[in-house]
Structure formats: structure tokens, C-alpha cells
Chains A and B, each alone.
Chain A
């Protein structure tokens, strides 16, 4: 499965070169072989996946095609409500979350022909950027066991990188799609706030939550986004704005596109190899015709603080019952984060929401008046050892979490589209990554830049040394 992309597998199935059952069996065999050590899955639905694959095979034989993902095996973060499967949200309780209807994004993918392999591991309640989970096992980085996978969509990152599935859904409240994508050497996209429905997915912070695709190439991420984007009556915050064709212009290149490289914040305190990898990628884009401009951007730490207040308060509200009734089930760090949410005054929460509006207007006006995208590192260093996420005093662990997600969080508050793309491998064999940030609803441009870089640099062809 490691040689297929969603795009190529879907084409091969249409061309009769491989069947949905063969593709599914190959994924299941790989999961059985590798997942005992990777811990990417919480629930594997082998029987359900094979049943769907057989039905899709019959339909294909009869010339009936459900959509562009006909027969493509995917898996979903375990906070998406999928009919017939438990949703633990990374907690000890298998059926912690249930929604009236199936997660809209999942439903749109399966309506397009995708096969559900199962539910993917995640940080407890999606609270944490490393991917450790005491209940379901710490997800291992496929590039280097003993190192974090990134989180909170940890299983999604590891499963796609290891070729256990062709693509996955994650969710991103402070970086939870982009961080594991960066750590695991795959592509992850958080689209504009409201571009993808969150209905049927557990809320962590409704003001900052985004559901989005994770895949091995930018084209695959675009393909998945195309299917899940768009208005959903079940999510009042979803945008009614028309969804453009993300694949139509993806090959147009970057000639003449204006790229902001932030002078402040984003490269400060960043590991030298990581910074060098991103700067080398910028030179590649310049060589492809992009016009780079270094400039200061409005201080992202202000938005990080605003997001911190909003996320903690909303998270505490959502998970009050678990926190009050069964606090002993929660990891101490998660409990500490919820605890803080209960102590923040309502006045600060409301001021944070008001500030967010002003900061967003200012950022868009200052950065995108003379620029098409902004490019920065995603993570401050390559995936650290698991002990960095799990060992030490709670106060220090909370601090490390905050540090690791400091380059991604502001874009949740700003609601801007942000794409994580691999841009190299460190001397220790761990992926490097950059994020491409666009103006609101500028996903097509962001994907176009990511695709141009990826095709030129070729990092997407490298695979973790698992076989």
C-alpha cells in the first residue's frame, strides 16, 4: 500500500488493475503486521471494511461507481461518530461520544465510495500535541520508534505515513492535524474556519475546531477536501460559500505568487535543522518563480493567548461531566488543562472572543494586502522522544505542550487555511515540515503552492523504514 496514493489507487480500481477487496485486504494485512508496535488504531473494523469492499466490487463489476473514492480504504480519528463503531475520543470509555447523525465529513467520504477500516488513536480528548495516550498506547513515530507521532490526530498521522490506510480525517484545534502530519512526514490540511463541517465530531473548542484531511500527497489532500468541504445544515458555522475545484488549478505552478516569510516569531527558537529545511524549501519555491518577501507579522503570541483562553473555557464546558464525575479517568495533564478552563473568568473569555475578531482583521489586512501566502515552520523541532511528552512534573509537561504547538495555534484563532507539507529529513531520520497559510477561503492557492513544492522537492516519495 505504500506505493499507492488515493489518486493512483482510485484510478487503478477504475481501470480494473486492483479490486476494492484486494486493496482492503492489503491494508488489513499491513495493519495486523505493523500496528501492534505503532498503536495507530483504537478500533479496527476488518469485517465491516471487507463487507463494504465486496459490495463496492459487485457495484464496480456492474459499472456502478459511487464516486471518486470508490474502493479506497480510509480511517478516521476516534472523535468522529461513525455508525456502528464506538467513539472513545481517546478516553478510557469506549462509547464516550455519540452524535445523532454520523460525522458529516465521514459520511461524505463514504458516500464517495471510501471504505472505513476503523477508528484512529488520538490524544485523550484531543488535548495535547504529542500523541501520547495512556489508555490506548502511545502512538509511535513510524520514522523512528520511541519518538512522538505528534497529536492530537496521532493515529491519523502514523497510519497514513505507515501505509496502513490511504488517507485519514483528523481534527485541528491548535495544530492537531498539522503537528502529526509534520512529525510523520505526510500532508495535513486545516481549511478555513467553516469550510468543513464539524457536525458529528466531538467538540473540543467550537470556536477553534476544524476537521480536515491527512494524506501522503497534496493532491490527495485536495481530493479529500473537495469531498468534505461545503455547507452542512447540521453545522451552523459551516460556510455557504461555493467550493471551488481544488484540483483544477493545482498544477499551475507558483510563478509570480507572493510569499511572506515572517521575520518575527516563527523562526525564533526553532531547531537549526528545521529552520534550514524550511529556508531551503523557500529557495526551491523562489527557483520555481515565487516572489519572497521577508516582513514582520502581527505578534502571533497575542493570538496564541487568545486561543488558549477560548479553548480552555470551551473545553471545560464541553467535558464538565467527565471532569466532575470521573476525574480519576483523566490523564493528569488533561485534567490540569480542564481545571484551568474552570478558573478563567467569563469576562476574559468574552474579551478573548472580541479580541479574536480584531486580531483577525488586522492580520489579514497586514499580511495579505501584499502577499498570497505565508510560509513558516510547523513544529519547532523534529519529533522529540516520547519521554519528552510523558516524563516530568505536570507543570513542565504542560509547558512543553504549549511550546510544541506555538507555531500552529494562532492560525486556529485566525481561522486561516494552513497546510503542512514535508520538507526534508533530519540527520536523526525524522521529518521536517513547513506550513503554507493562505487568506480566508484561499485553499486552492495554498494547495497549489504545496503541490508545486512537493513535486519539485520529492520528499513525498520517501517512506519510513518499516518493511
Chain B
């Protein structure tokens, strides 16, 4: 199977983006807080 030439670059770019954005992530941050964010930000029903 041939590997597209861009893959190492794309992989490195994604890793760098996650590294950059995650540098100051709080220790308490966890994936389930995504659902909590949706619930907390929900539009009031009329």
C-alpha cells in the first residue's frame, strides 16, 4: 500500500496543533465536560 507523501507532514501538523492548543489545559479537564458544556449553554425553551 502506498503512503501519500503528505502524511508525515499532516501527522506532524496535527500533533503540533494539539500540542500548542493543549499546553495550558487544566488538570481537571476531561472529555465528559463537552456534554456538560452543551447542557450548560442550552437555549432556554419558550
B-contacting residues of A (Cβ < 8 Å)? 192-194, 237, 241-242, 244, 249, 302, 305-306, 308-309, 327, 332, 335-336, 339-340, 343-345, 348, 350-361, 364-365, 368, 393-395, 398-399, 415, 438-442, 444-445
Question: Does B17 lie within 8 Å of A438, measured CB to CB?
Answer: no
B14 touches which one: A241, A308, A368, A398 (CB < 8 A)?
A308
Q: Nearest Cβ in chain A — how far from B5, in angstroms?
A: 5
Contact status A441-B21, CB under 8 Å: no
Partner of B38, one of A192, A348, A358: A192
Question: Is the Cβ of A354 less than 8 Å from the Cβ of B30?
Answer: yes
Which of chain B's residues has its CB closest to A367's CB? B41
Chain B residue total in the interface (Cβ 8 A): 35
CB atoms of B30 and A343 under 8 A apart:
no
Q: Are B4 and A336 in contact (CB under 8 A)?
A: yes
Identify the B interface with A (CB < 8 A): 1-7, 10-11, 13-15, 17-18, 21-22, 25-26, 29-43, 45-46
Indicate if the CB atoms of A357 and B34 lie closer than 8 Å: yes
Residues on B with C-beta less than 8 A from A440 are 37-39, 41-43
18 A–B contacts, CB within 8 A, in A order: A194-B38, A305-B17, A305-B18, A327-B1, A336-B3, A336-B4, A351-B18, A354-B25, A354-B29, A355-B22, A357-B30, A360-B38, A361-B41, A364-B41, A368-B41, A398-B10, A440-B37, A440-B38
CA–CA, A365 to B13, complex, Å? 28
Q: Which one of A306, A358, A364, A444 has the greatest number of beta carbons of chain B within 10 Å?
A: A358
Partner of B18, one of A194, A306, A358, A442: A306
Contact A351 B25 (CB under 8 A): yes
Q: A358-B25, A398-B6 are in contact. Are A345 and B15 (CB under 8 A)?
A: yes
Shortest C-beta distance, B42 to chain A (Å), equals 4
Question: Is there contact, CB below 8 Å, between B15 and A339?
Answer: no
- Whether the pair B38, A339 counts as a contact (CB closer than 8 A) is no
Q: Is A194 within 8 A of B35, CB to CB?
A: yes
Chain A's interface: helix, strand, loop or mixed, by majority? helix
A339 near B3: Cβ-Cβ < 8 Å: yes
Q: Are A242 and B45 in contact (CB under 8 A)?
A: yes
Asked if A356 contacts B43 (CB within 8 A), the reply is no
Chain B: CB-nearest residue to A442: B43
Q: How near does chain B come to A187, taking the closest CB pair, in angstroms?
A: 20
- Chain B residues, Cβ within 8 Å of A445: 43
Add 9 more A-B contacts to A305-B17, A361-B33, A439-B43 (CB < 8 A).
Answer: A193-B35, A306-B17, A339-B1, A350-B31, A351-B25, A353-B34, A355-B18, A358-B29, A441-B45
Q: How far is the CB of A240 from chain B (nearest CB, A)?
A: 10
Interface hub of A242, A356, A357 (most chain B Cβ within 10 A): A357
Residue of A nearest to B45 (CB): A244
Query: Is the beta-carbon distance between B42 and A340 smaller than 8 angstroms?
Result: no
Contacting residues, chain B, for A237 (C-beta < 8 A) = 35
User: Are A348 and B30 in contact (CB-based, < 8 A)?
Assistant: no
Q: Which residue of A lies closest to B34 (CB)?
A: A357
A438 to chain B, nearest CB (A): 7
Establish whether residues A439 and B41, one from each chain, have CB atoms under 8 Å apart when the complex forms.
yes
Determine the chain A residues whose CB is within 8 A of the CB of B38 once the complex forms.
192-194, 360, 415, 440-441
Q: Are A398's CB and B34's CB within 8 A?
A: no
The verdict on A306 contacting B21 (CB below 8 Å), with A345-B15, A357-B37, A361-B37 known, is yes
| Chain B residues whose C-beta falls within 8 Å of the C-beta of A340 in the assembled complex | 7, 10-11
Contacts of A359 in B (CB 8 A): 21
CB distance A399 to B6 under 8 Å? yes
Which of A327, A339, A354: most chain B Cβ within 10 A? A354
Q: How far is the CB of B10 from chain A (nearest CB, A)?
A: 6
Contacts of A335 in B (CB 8 A): 1
The answer to whether A441 and B6 touch across the interface, beta carbons within 8 angstroms, is: no
